[in-house]
Amino acid sequence: MKIIKMILKMKVLLIIFLLPSISYAGNCIMGTTPNVTTGALELAIDPRVNVGDILGYRYSKGLTGQMLVVTCTGSSPYRAVPLLTASTTVEGAYETDIAGVGVFISDIYKPAMTLPYTTSLSPNVLTPWLNQNEVRLTFVKTGPITPGTAGSKTIASFYLNSQVFASIKMNSMKVTQKSCLADVNSQNKIVDLGSPVRSEFSGIGSVAASSERNFSVLLQCQADNIPVQVTFDPVGDVSGDGLLAISSETNSATGVAVEVLDASRTPLSFATAKTYHNASERTIEIPLVARYKQTGTIGTGTANAAMTFTITQN
Half-sphere exposure of residue 298, counting CA atoms within 13 Å on the CB side?
22
**Rounded to whole angstroms, how far apart are CA atoms 56 and 312?**
8
Q: Where are the domains of the chain?
A: 28-177, 180-312
Q: State residue 2's pLDDT score.
A: 40
What percent helix, strand, coil does the chain show, rounded to 5? 5, 45, 50
Average pLDDT value over all residues in the chain = 90
Assign 240 a pLDDT band (cuts: 50, 70, 90).
confident
76-82 and 67-72 beta bridge pairing:
unpaired
The CATH fold assigned to 28-177 is: Immunoglobulin-like (2.60.40)
Model pLDDT for residues 265-299, shown as the tens digit of each residue = 999 999 999 999 999 999 999 999 999 999 999 99
Phi, psi of 217 (to 5 degrees): -105, 130
- Does the fold of domain 180-312 match that of domain 28-177? yes
Decide: 227 and 311 in contact? Cβ < 8 Å. no
Residue 264 has pLDDT above 70, yes or no: yes
Task: Spell out the SS3 assignment of 240-301.
Answer: CCCEEECCCCCCECEEEEEEEECCCCCECCCCCCEEECCCCCCEEEEEEEEEEEEEEEEECC
Q: Coil, strand or helix: which one is 186?
A: helix
What is the CA 191 to chain-centroid distance, rounded? 28
The CA distances from residue 131 to 60, 84, 187, in Å, are 13, 24, 41
Q: What is the pLDDT of residue 239?
A: 77
What b-and-e string marks burial along 274-297, b requiring 16 or more CB atoms within 10 Å of the CB? eebbeeebeebebebbbbbbbbee
pLDDT digits (tens, 9 = 90+) for 19-48: 333 333 478 999 988 999 999 999 999 999
CATH superfamily of 180-312: Fimbrial-type adhesion domain (2.60.40.1090)
pTM for the model: 0.75
Reported as a pLDDT band with limits 50, 70 and 90, residue 237 is: confident
Between the two ends of the chain, the Cα-to-Cα distance in Å is: 111
Calpha distance 154→142 (Å, rounded) = 20
Question: Distance (Å, rounded) from C-alpha 131 to C-alpha 108?
Answer: 8
- How many whole angstroms separate alpha carbon 50 and alpha carbon 137? 19
Between β-strands 173-177 and 41-45, what pairing exists: parallel, antiparallel or unpaired?
A: parallel
